[in-house]
Amino acid sequence: MGATLTEKILARAAGRSAVRPGEVVTCKVDLALLLDSGGPRRIWPRLKELGVGVWDPDRIVLCTDHFTPAVDAESAAILKLTRDFAAEFGIRRFFDMQGIGHVVLAEQGFLEPGMFACGGDSHSSMGGAFGCYMAGFGAIEMTGIVVTGEIWLQVPETIRADWSGRFAAGVVAKDIMLFLCREIGMENAFRVIEFGGDTVARMPMPERMVLTNMAAELGAETGIVAADATTLAAIRAAGREPAADAPGWQGDADARYLARHAFDAAALAPQVAAPHSPANSGPVGDFAGERIDQAYIGACVGAKLSDLRMAAEVLRGRRVAPGTRLLVAPASTRAMAEAAADGTLAALTGAGAYLLPTGCGACAALGAGILADGETCISSTNRNFQGRMGANSARVFLGSPYTVAASAVAGRVADPREFLA
């Protein structure tokens, strides 16, 4: 029997000819992503206690994104410690206040098909869009990775999700993921979600990144998309040449999957998730008319350049509804600069949007844009757990950038198809 793409990657990383689900293997790490939130401030004290350093500073990428820019003395101290860590251990791939780490990895071309990568954040799964295995680990596990360059794990089962057909107007990858949170649930521990089908094959890389990012919301270890011409083009666009074996990272036709699902993209309507879970999702019409105080376009999953352009498509020539505020926090400084150059930011701010600094921000209730008691928000972020974006009594709906922008104009949850030609 053949192997899935995940099994092939883990076998290479473990130095074995093959692995099977359920086996425990030790894998060599190709790349480790550390963030200011759970990186140096959690890891460095343990390194000092052990009297050790890092295994390979050139295989570590360090980003400040959660506490940027500092809004209080505690945040400033965390950022200073992160900068000191980079200097102490010679971390040359250090991106300070340049964007959310998961997006920066893609922009810099650091991810390759077949790579085994680890990150100190659950949404590290975003890297799987590049045909690599990239999963999130806690601070203790990341300490071991930083010191040894290795990590043990149980080989996960793979669930295949194939999508065919073309989206209707106003439907995007975010709608797929909100649909899947409802349909296959959020209890998929020790599983990988592999995305395929002609719908996924046509997706540009930023949309594939939404699929693998929100595999975390499905409870999976990670998400993955096999390498193809789009993958290679994205790496080249970031200024790097793909490895010679990059196109070969594919699953076998006779690979065994725990389950296989087939879905029709053409039948999918824009989706919205109601408080307080991404699984509380349904067609936007189920929630239309819910009044909102705030619309938020932000986070690694919802404020890339392509996401900002989606919002601008709705907002151009319109105004945010009175009594509603629209906040936009671009996912990276590069996305912000490109959006400024092509007129996207002008369309957003011209409609009444407030532009916030790059970073995780209100998605994790850090920095500007958090919610007060009793407020209602619709957001392009990945999660809407109770208290995630501020007060416990606040209510957060989730939608695509199209849906968030349409709702900002309407002052209530709204169907983006009403605003698109």
**Per-residue model confidence as pLDDT tens digits over 287-297:** 999 999 999 99
List alpha helices for 90-224, DSSP H: 101-107, 139-148, 173-183, 198-202, 205-213
In percent, how much of the chain has pLDDT > 70? 100
Q: What is the DSSP string of 106-120?
A: HHTT---TT-EEEES
Q: Give yes or no for a contact between 115 and 209, defined as CB atoms under 8 angstroms apart.
A: no
Q: Give yes or no for a contact between 382 and 281, defined as CB atoms under 8 angstroms apart.
A: no
pLDDT, tens digit, for every residue of 197-213? 999 999 999 999 999 99
Domain boundary residue among 264, 283, 311?
264
Reported confidence tier of residue 134, pLDDT bands at 50, 70, 90:
very high
Find the largest Cα–Cα distance for the chain: 62
Tell whether the model's pLDDT for residue 158 goes beyond 80.
yes
User: Within this chain, do residues 252 and 275 fall inside the same structural domain, yes or no?
Assistant: no
Mean pLDDT of 180-200: 97
Tell whether the model's pLDDT for residue 216 goes beyond 90.
yes
User: Within this chain, do residues 108 and 245 fall inside the same structural domain, yes or no?
Assistant: yes
Query: Which of 367, 365, 307 is CA-nearest to residue 332?
Result: 307
For 299, how many CA atoms within 13 A lie in the half-sphere containing its CB?
30
Summary mean pLDDT of the chain: 97
Token pair recorded at residue 130? 């590049």
What is the structure's pLDDT at 367? Answer: 86
Query: Which of 333, 332, 302 is CA-nearest to residue 404?
Result: 302
User: Within this chain, do residues 112 and 227 fall inside the same structural domain, yes or no?
Assistant: yes
Reported confidence tier of residue 363, pLDDT bands at 50, 70, 90:
very high
Domain boundary residue among 264, 294, 324?
264
User: Within this chain, do residues 85 and 130 fall inside the same structural domain, yes or no?
Assistant: yes
pLDDT, tens digit, for every residue of 393-412? 999 999 999 999 999 999 99
What is the structure's pLDDT at 209? Answer: 98
Amino acid identity of residue 374, one-letter, is G
Tell whether the model's pLDDT for residue 421 goes beyond 80.
no
What is the structure's pLDDT at 185? Answer: 96
User: Within this chain, do residues 148 and 166 fall inside the same structural domain, yes or no?
Assistant: yes
Overall pTM > 0.75: yes
For 405, how many CA atoms within 13 A lie in the half-sphere containing its CB?
30
User: Within this chain, do residues 137 and 170 fall inside the same structural domain, yes or no?
Assistant: yes
Strand partners, 151: 27
Domain boundary residue among 233, 249, 264?
264
What is the structure's pLDDT at 366? Answer: 92
Token pair recorded at residue 149? 């360059």
- Residue 264 φ then ψ, to 5°: -105, 110
Q: What is the CATH number of the domain that holds 359?
A: 3.30.499.10
User: Within this chain, do residues 246 and 281 fall inside the same structural domain, yes or no?
Assistant: no
What is the structure's pLDDT at 279? Answer: 98
User: Within this chain, do residues 176 and 210 fall inside the same structural domain, yes or no?
Assistant: yes
What is the structure's pLDDT at 1? Answer: 81
Tokens 């920095």 sit at which residue?
367
Q: Give yes or no for a contact between 249 and 227, defined as CB atoms under 8 angstroms apart.
A: yes
| Total structural domains within the chain | 2
User: Within this chain, do residues 275 and 248 fall inside the same structural domain, yes or no?
Assistant: no
Structural domain boundaries, residue 402:
271-418
User: Within this chain, do residues 179 and 294 fall inside the same structural domain, yes or no?
Assistant: no
Amino acid identity of residue 375, one-letter, is E
- Residue 89 φ then ψ, to 5°: -110, 10
Mean pLDDT of 343-359: 98
Buried b (16+ CB within 10 A) or exposed e, 58-91: ebbbbbbbbbbebeeeebeebbebbbebbeebeb
> What is the C-alpha separation between 401 and 108, in angstroms, rounded?
24
User: Within this chain, do residues 403 and 365 fall inside the same structural domain, yes or no?
Assistant: yes
Tell whether the model's pLDDT for residue 384 goes beyond 80.
yes
User: Within this chain, do residues 222 and 294 fall inside the same structural domain, yes or no?
Assistant: no
> What is the C-alpha separation between 210 and 212, in angstroms, rounded?
6
